[in-house]
Structure 1
């Protein structure tokens, strides 16, 4: 029997950005600040209408997190964030909710960030990517290193809880340059860091015109450097790409990795919801104009699919094994309605390869397994 989670996360997609980066495969659409101003109010009203439809499905649950992602959410006027948050607050207690806003240094407006803090947003995730101007140019970021540093200063003034997004394995990046990026990030005393390996995804401009990136061996050396320096600075490597100071893990992402339920609102947003012993996935149409049209027609539950029971073990483990501290066997049973013993034969090769560890309560990747997660998942297929 699948246990319906008592909590739920809410993801809100704001699809516009000033410039789409060549490595980005997210659902983002280029628009000037003026264009966003002409579109944002109708779009946020549509978000509220969509949420109001779905709220009956989650009315008995606690909203533990709201995450405004994009695109570049910080392009949106504060008054519209306030309008959306107020609409949710009518029927849900948000006093202990983690509310995160993604922001890019190139779109920082000081007066906006004070407003964001005043209306209840309590966490900011800044898309820095690098403090090296050459690498920022190769990634086609719209900010400079100096603007990134100034943005962090602004965020620190208004928010106690903030994350910095950085990348490694960049075109022509050296270990010395990576070291400088790590040192610079740490110097601002963030309570959370996300370090992503640049991967060339289909449907991106980098895929069509591939840059010269570090070899797999060099990328491994870079990852080892990241792990070592952040460990020395007392960051807990709690998830594949995430590092946190004590009590500052990202609640919204932890919900994803523990196969929790989440409601995705907005163009291209994805949802996973448990209902009456079944788990469903849903995703919205990606085009913002079409999304608005579909909601106006009351066309909800687009692209709804049931996750077959036989797929639940892989779905759960694909997410939960990203957590370096693993998961409890009780959580596995609650979220899938199954026993972990049912997949022990498929896990056996990973135990033999010293990729997994278990005791009577938990299952987790070993230190080696953290680095070879794809091998564990391959063994499960």
Structure 2
């Protein structure tokens, strides 16, 4: 009987002060000073989880990630009560990683000590840039100085596992400005740094009114120079956009990329879950919750519950689903993980990879699924080959 993969939990907080023009997440701007329905949302989250508990199959959580929106708009007391409710319903791995996303604006500062005391042990700060012009172009509500002050306060609160989110390829950005952002970020000595390129996603303001972005040659220069600088600073790249000091890779994101399972609670949250059918064969389901915060809160008293839809990942889709995650990892994954996480024979995946091997997009290793340096540069081409191979 195949063993079920590790289990994580994602908690979505849908509110933010102002919707950023590049953001395609389920976030809803509420303005400054608006009192959010903390008690109602907490009750809904726990009711949502109660309905999903049979899907956890008694497995301990290896990680919890609280994302948004802007989770740091909610109080430390909210998270203390939430984590207490989670611990009453689910077992926690002894090394559980509990991450909270936070914005470094002055609205949220002063709460970091309370978050740490509530049990959150990893903080992810959405800095994006330290440059005033770039922050204004991105619609951010903080300054570079705010970001520095927030990190200093987080350290004082006892956080020893911090991630900084930085973006590159921003409107008006030169290689010099991108590297300056990295230097200022590195000076703060984060344990983890997510450094990703701005993309114009559908259903965003930037997609309908695109800003002028750097030319492709400039983007390549930024990427090459930035990667070299991060590696020299002791932050090793382990995923296309993620760099970490030894022992500080994100457990939650690694579980995603290794095709682990995760529950999702909160407005618009998603889940990926494995279960055995009567024959002991692994079946993989994706499900998603009601998106609009007001509708989500009403579902607590609705017999339909919180689920908006679900779908089973069929055999034809499995190779691409697995590859979309695993191939983002610089070291790839052992091919044995394919069988362990999907319950399907390795040959089912291997047949999809012949063309990619011929093009030099994969490392020649019979035991691993790993993109070559060229494959990491042209990941979309690599995934297209997996997708176009047809059903084995």
Give the TM-score, by structure 2 length: 0.93
| Contact 2:174 2:218 (8 Å CA) reproduced | no
Provide the secondary structure at the position in 2 that maps to 1:304: strand
Is the contact made by 2:259 and 2:322 (CA closer than 8 Å) also made in structure 1?
yes
Q: How does 1:284-363 map to 2 (within 5 A)?
A: 284-300=289-305, 301-363=307-369
> What does the per-residue CA deviation read over 1:220-262, in whole Å, with 9 as the maximum and x for residues that have no partner?
2211112111111121110111001001000111111011100
**Residue 213 of structure 1: how far off its partner (Å):** 0.1
Give 3-state SS (helix, strand or coil) of 2:48's partner: helix
Q: 1:257 to 1:357 in 2, by over 3 A?
A: same
Q: Distance in 1 between matches of 2:40 and 2:273?
A: 27
Q: CA RMSD in A?
A: 1.5
Which segment drifts farther, 55-64 or 197-206? Answer: 55-64
Q: How many residues align?
A: 379
Contact 1:169 1:213 in 2 (8 A): yes
Report 1:12-91 matches (<5 A): 12-35=11-34, 37-91=35-89
After superposition, the Cα gap between the structure-2 partners of 1:64 and 1:172, relative to the gap in structure 1 and judged at 3 Å, is same
Distance 1:108 1:126 in 2: 14
Matched, 1:281 2:279: no
- Preserved CA contact (<8 Å) 1:75 1:107: no
Q: Is 2:110 aligned against 1:111?
A: yes
* Contact in 1 for aligned 2:28/2:69 (Cα 8 Å): yes
Instruction: Measure the CA separation in 1 of the matches of 2:110 and 2:175.
Output: 37
Decide whether the 8 Å contact of 1:351 with 1:357 is kept in 2.
yes
- Report the counterpart of residue 240 of structure 1 in structure 2: 240
SS of residue in 2 equivalent to 1:365 = coil
> What does residue range 206-245 of structure 1 map to in structure 2 within 5 Å?
206-245=206-245
Which stretch has the larger CA shift, 342-351 or 62-71?
342-351
**Runs (5+) with no aligned partner, structure 2:** 277-281
| Offset, 1:56 | 2.6
Q: Distance in 2 between matches of 1:280 and 1:40?
A: 30
Stretch deviating more after TM superposition (252-261 or 24-33): 24-33
Give the alignment of 1:161-180 within 5 angstroms.
Answer: 161-180=161-180
Q: CA deviation at 1:294?
A: 1.9
Measured after TM superposition, the shift of residue 112 of structure 1 is: 1.3
Structure 1 stretch 65-74 or stretch 365-374: which is displaced more?
Answer: 365-374
Pairing 1:139-150 to 2, within 5 Å after superposition: 139-150=138-149
What SS class does the counterpart of residue 111 from structure 1 fall into?
A: coil
SS in 2 for 1:310: coil
Query: For the structure 1 residues 61 and 343, does the alpha-carbon distance in structure 2 shift closer, same or farther, using more than 3 Å as the test?
Result: closer
Cα distance in 1, alignment partners of residues 358 and 313 from structure 2: 30
1:241 & 1:111 partners in 2: Cα distance? 29
Deviations 1:134-168, CA, capped at 9 Å, x for gaps: 11011110001111111111112220001000000
Distance 1:213 1:109 in 2: 30
Partner Cα separation in structure 1 for residue 36 and residue 71 of structure 2: 15
Residue by residue over 1:329-370, the C-alpha shift from the partner in whole angstroms, topping out at 9 and shown as x without a partner, is 110111122233234343122212221014242121111211
Alpha-carbon distance in structure 2 between the residues aligned to 1:235 and 1:33: 36
Whichever structure has more helix as a proportion of its residues is: 1
Give, in whole Å, the separation in 1 of the partners of 2:110 and 2:125.
Answer: 17
Question: What is the CA–CA distance in structure 2 between the aligned matches of 1:160 and 1:194, rounded to whole Å?
Answer: 17
TM-superposed CA distance for 1:38, in Å, is 4.0
Q: CA deviation at 1:60?
A: 1.3
| Contact map agreement 1:2 1:278 (CA 8 A) in 2 | no
